[in-house]
Structure 1
Amino acid sequence: MEWFGSGDYELARQVLQRGVAACYLIAFISAINQFPALLGEHGLLPAPRFLSIVSYKQSPSLFHWRYSDRLLLVLSWAGLVLAASVVLGLPQLAPAWVPLIVFLVIWAIYLSIVNVGQTFYSFGWESLLLEAGFVVAFLGSDRVAPPITIIIFLRWLVFRLEFGAGMIKMRGGEEWRDLTALFYHHETQPMPNPLSWFAHHLPRWFHRLEVIGSHFAQLVVPFFLFAPQPVASVAALVVILTQLWLVATGNFAWLNWITIVLAFAAIDDNAFGLIFPVDEGAAPEQAPLWFVVVVLAATIFLLVLSYRPLLNLFARHQLMNASFNRYHLVNAYGAFGTVTKERFEVEVEGSDADKPGEGDWVAYGFRGKPGDPKRMPPQVAPYHLRLDWLMWFLALGSPDTRWFQVFILKLLEGDRKTLRLLRVNPFPDAPPRWIRARVFLYRFSTAEERRRDHVWWERTEVGLIVAPTSLGGQRRR
């Protein structure tokens, strides 16, 4: 069955399996550090409460059997260890069924987390990670050649990811069509990084070129992922380079990194050989019949699921970051159909005073989002700061504020798990008597303001989003 496996993608398989596993590793670390405080038994949106009103059929999860924070940590640590083993290449040394089982177990554990994660796990890269983990499970081990059907399907995944994002932009805000979107994006993106300030101050002609490059990389290049080599490898390289620019100028969790990894499905060993010597090694064994049957069945299953995502790409009302099934397989992707032109931030403050005046309030510090204008925007990706991302949506006027109301209560109670999500707790000895939240309009400082005042941001107060509130629910008049 020489048609089934391709020895031209041995190195691509190594990158795909280890790279996707590395993203899972980061995702499980995020769950261990953040899930109990956000969604645990006493979290902001408790998973047990969600599980009591949602059935397994609606949201498949191992936690329908039983949820506890301890079980969540046990499963997350198990997923982390399994993902680390793939990064080290251990399951790949065994028969083809071993990495298959390992990846499916990792996928099932993370699916269980995502499906009870509610708004804190509603990001497109969660579905992307789940789909990628399921598909690369069928790449087999080092003992068999990478199945060509899976290699091609991974290119189809990259196509949906890139072309879907491009179509969302063209159907979205006018700023993408008049080439002005990048006048604003570096400043208003959810979580700028250390280079975002510099990228924002690049000349406007450069920002227009950025948009043109984005349209080319997302609307034209993806079709060439299916072209013969070396064209497919060149197309993949364009995708990788554009994603690296996004990595350099923003914090989008593991979205850009996993896209880079998946793009390697279009790069063959000959292309690798142009950069560094490739050791061909021993020829892989012929794939056993059971493996061929399983892979072909999985390919057919995934192709059937591709029908609705394919229609969605060309639909008038295209869905963005949508799953068409409960298992997050073969999804619709896309981001930033419109670009926010102004940046609003919510600052949460506490006070110990009986009747606090303006000078009595002290701000809590978040790990990733802007706060202190003198603090340089941090580099946090590929790690995902879920609370910080939700604070960005809150400032945009997100209708779901249940979690924020509980967050305020947790601060008044001095809840340790919640406080560990923050960078700065200005009340280390005892919780404050009062909490309030103000909204500010932020903009990047100019070069002159940066030199003079040593600030990265300039901000103007817009108003109060939460009036001074005490633990008893009283509001100060």
Structure 2
Amino acid sequence: MEWFTADGYWLGRLVFQKALAVVYLAAFLGAALQFRALIGERGMLPAPEVLRRTDWRGAPGLFRLHYSDRFFAVVAWTGCAVAVALIVGVDNRVPLGAAMALWALPWLLYLSIVQVGGVWYGFGWESLLLETGFLAVFLGNADTAPPVLVLWLLRWVLFRLEFGAGLIKWRGDACWRNLTCLYFHHETQPMPGPLSWFFHRLPRPVHRAEAAANHVTQLLVPVLLLTPQPVASVAAGLMIVTQLWLVLSGNFAWLNWLTITLALPVIDWSPLTEPPAQRGAPVWYEAVVIAVTVLILALSYHPARNLVSRRQVMNRSFDPLHLVNTYGAFGSVSRVRLEVVVEGTDDAVVHPGTVWKEYGFRGKPGDPRRLPRQFAPYHLRLDWLMWFAALSPAYARAWFGPFVERLLENDRDTLRLLRHNPFPGAPPAQVRARVFRYRFTTWRELRATGCWWHRTFVRDFLRPTRR
């Protein structure tokens, strides 16, 4: 079938596949380095307990067959190895069927991880990676030109991602409609980056322009993805520029980078180079792609209905394999930044002279003098959940107690998630947690104190607790 492939998009496919493999590498690397403390057999929310509470139908995956920390490590590091293989182009050096199997492997491995990840893996970009990774299986390799149907399915993902995010903002917080959300967002976002202080200090008219540009990019530009070239390429380019702005202004794991990745195959790269000679698509491949397209369109009913619903929800999967999902972010924006500060002491009995030493986290704000660091696309899961805990203790009910228990034991795996352990020689006698209000300092305060943050005590989060 001549209509089945699009020769001119071969370079867009190649760039997309390389970028997606890099995102996979970041995801698997984070899983390999963080899982023992979070979901390991002695983790805060052990994966075996998640498996006991769910079944095959609701959460299928490899760990249904067997779970151990050693097996999880094998899965995660295998995912890293496969991602590296895809980055260097092994998929283009093997037959089409083998390439599809190679792309299916990281999808299956990461699906298995997400199914046992609990709240630590409850972020929208987990589903986005799985949905995108599933479609990548059927995008083909150097043996054939990119299939048109899969290219359009990737655009459908990008459309839902951006349009859904735009609608949830417009329907949600009034500050999006009156263009004032960016007065607060750079300061109160989950994990600021090294430039967030400077973005926050931009003039308010610039913040209003940012908000207006966001509405244009997320509510109008996605429609242009469905138009002919070169308009679709321009739309994708605008999305990439917007995402790079977000990359500079904060840390959102791989969400921005995966959005950029989805925009790459929309662009018509054909003026840059001639496509190589490629064979026609095998009949079996055409049949598989058509069947997958029918499946995705059928599963798209609920996500599409959610887009037009007044009760729109965000970041939800409608099938256990995360094949078609709904997305969105920051339907409401915090006006005040609260942070949970965790401290320990060597004193067995707390008295007025007790000295409390603060634990340092890698990404979330702590020491007011420390400039926020850039971590994305690497995902610091504990730091993100600490942001949610500051919003409401309900977000931390399941895991914060076990976290404190492990601090009282100087648990090696848990301490590896932190930047600084103030008790390297022996565990603390007691640990407490307090909530502070954080705000970015002014230019004058920064020059006078060297502090990027100013913090004020608000309330106790956890009173002094001993082992």
TM-score (norm 1): 0.96
Query: What's the secondary structure of 1:423's corresponding residue?
Result: strand
Contact 2:8–2:275 (CA under 8 A) maintained in structure 1 = no
Partner residue in 2 for 1:369: 364
Partner residue in 2 for 1:7: 7
- Per the TM alignment, residue 53 of structure 1 is displaced from its structure 2 partner at its CA by 2.2
Contact 2:169–2:332 (CA under 8 A) maintained in structure 1 = yes
Sequence identity percentage: 54
Partner residue in 2 for 1:62: 62
Partner residue in 2 for 1:44: 44
Partner residue in 1 for 2:421: 425
- Per the TM alignment, residue 99 of structure 1 is displaced from its structure 2 partner at its CA by 2.2
- Per the TM alignment, residue 358 of structure 1 is displaced from its structure 2 partner at its CA by 5.4
Matched, 1:402 2:359: no
Candidates 387, 393, 413, aligned match of 2:388:
393
Deviates more, 1:441-450 or 1:396-405: 396-405
- Which one-letter code corresponds to 1:234 in the other structure? V
- Per the TM alignment, residue 359 of structure 1 is displaced from its structure 2 partner at its CA by 4.9
Matched, 1:198 2:198: yes
Contact 1:98–1:141 (CA under 8 A) maintained in structure 2 = no
Contact 2:409–2:427 (CA under 8 A) maintained in structure 1 = yes
Partner residue in 2 for 1:324: 318
Query: What's the secondary structure of 1:402's corresponding residue?
Result: coil
Cα distance between partner residues in 2 of 1:417 and 1:281: 49
Contact 2:10–2:275 (CA under 8 A) maintained in structure 1 = no
Matched, 1:307 2:301: yes
Matched, 1:297 2:303: no
Cα distance between partner residues in 1 of 2:353 and 2:167: 48
Candidates 330, 350, 360, aligned match of 2:355:
360
Query: What's the secondary structure of 1:347's corresponding residue?
Result: strand
Deviates more, 1:40-49 or 1:280-289: 280-289
- Per the TM alignment, residue 61 of structure 1 is displaced from its structure 2 partner at its CA by 1.7
- Which one-letter code corresponds to 1:367 in the other structure? R
Cα distance between partner residues in 2 of 1:99 and 1:426: 49
Partner residue in 2 for 1:18: 18
* 1:363-401 deviation digits (Å, cap 9, x = unpaired): 000000000000000101000000000000000004142
Query: What's the secondary structure of 2:338's corresponding residue?
Result: strand
- Per the TM alignment, residue 110 of structure 1 is displaced from its structure 2 partner at its CA by 0.5
- Per the TM alignment, residue 355 of structure 1 is displaced from its structure 2 partner at its CA by 2.5
Query: What's the secondary structure of 1:42's corresponding residue?
Result: coil
Matched, 1:384 2:374: no
Partner residue in 2 for 1:30: 30
Contact 2:360–2:366 (CA under 8 A) maintained in structure 1 = yes
Partner residue in 1 for 2:331: 337
- Which one-letter code corresponds to 1:361 in the other structure? W
Partner residue in 2 for 1:461: 457
Cα distance between partner residues in 2 of 1:358 and 1:140: 67
Partner residue in 2 for 1:87: 87
- Which one-letter code corresponds to 2:143 in the other structure? R
Contact 1:120–1:390 (CA under 8 A) maintained in structure 2 = yes
- The runs of 5 or more residues in structure 1 that have no matched partner are 472-477
Instruction: Figure out how many residues of one structure are paired with residues of the other and give that number.
Output: 465
Query: What's the secondary structure of 1:440's corresponding residue?
Result: strand
Contact 1:92–1:98 (CA under 8 A) maintained in structure 2 = no
Partner residue in 2 for 1:474: none
Query: What's the secondary structure of 1:248's corresponding residue?
Result: helix
- Per the TM alignment, residue 354 of structure 1 is displaced from its structure 2 partner at its CA by 2.8
Query: CA 1:33–1:353 in 2, change beyond 3 Å: closer, same or farther?
Result: same
TM-score (norm 2): 0.98
Cα distance between partner residues in 1 of 2:23 and 2:292: 23
Cα distance between partner residues in 2 of 1:203 and 1:95: 55
* 1:157-195 deviation digits (Å, cap 9, x = unpaired): 000000000000011011001100000000000000000
- The runs of 5 or more residues in structure 2 that have no matched partner are none
Cα distance between partner residues in 2 of 1:73 and 1:372: 33
> Deviating runs (4+, > 2 A) in structure 1?
354-359
- Which one-letter code corresponds to 2:364 in the other structure? K
Contact 1:158–1:262 (CA under 8 A) maintained in structure 2 = yes
Contact 1:93–1:143 (CA under 8 A) maintained in structure 2 = no
- Which one-letter code corresponds to 1:207 in the other structure? H
Partner residue in 2 for 1:443: 439
- Per the TM alignment, residue 93 of structure 1 is displaced from its structure 2 partner at its CA by 2.4
Cα distance between partner residues in 2 of 1:143 and 1:194: 44
- Which one-letter code corresponds to 1:206 in the other structure? V
Cα distance between partner residues in 2 of 1:402 and 1:52: 16
Contact 1:367–1:388 (CA under 8 A) maintained in structure 2 = yes
Deviates more, 1:353-362 or 1:402-411: 353-362
Matched, 1:189 2:189: yes
- Per the TM alignment, residue 294 of structure 1 is displaced from its structure 2 partner at its CA by 0.7
Contact 1:349–1:435 (CA under 8 A) maintained in structure 2 = yes
- Per the TM alignment, residue 65 of structure 1 is displaced from its structure 2 partner at its CA by 1.1
- Which one-letter code corresponds to 2:185 in the other structure? H
Deviates more, 1:438-447 or 1:55-64: 55-64
Query: What's the secondary structure of 2:125's corresponding residue?
Result: helix
- Per the TM alignment, residue 281 of structure 1 is displaced from its structure 2 partner at its CA by 5.0
- Written as runs of structure 1 = structure 2, the 5 A alignment for 1:249-328 is 249-270=249-270, 273=271, 277-278=272-273, 280=274, 282-328=276-322
- Per the TM alignment, residue 104 of structure 1 is displaced from its structure 2 partner at its CA by 1.3
- Give the RMSD, CA atoms, in angstroms: 1.0
Partner residue in 2 for 1:112: 112
Query: What's the secondary structure of 1:139's corresponding residue?
Result: coil
Cα distance between partner residues in 1 of 2:167 and 2:54: 33
- Which one-letter code corresponds to 1:378 in the other structure? R
Query: What's the secondary structure of 1:284's corresponding residue?
Result: coil
Partner residue in 2 for 1:154: 154
Cα distance between partner residues in 2 of 1:175 and 1:366: 31
Query: What's the secondary structure of 2:339's corresponding residue?
Result: strand
Cα distance between partner residues in 1 of 2:447 and 2:11: 47
Cα distance between partner residues in 2 of 1:321 and 1:353: 44
Partner residue in 2 for 1:475: none
Contact 1:152–1:265 (CA under 8 A) maintained in structure 2 = no
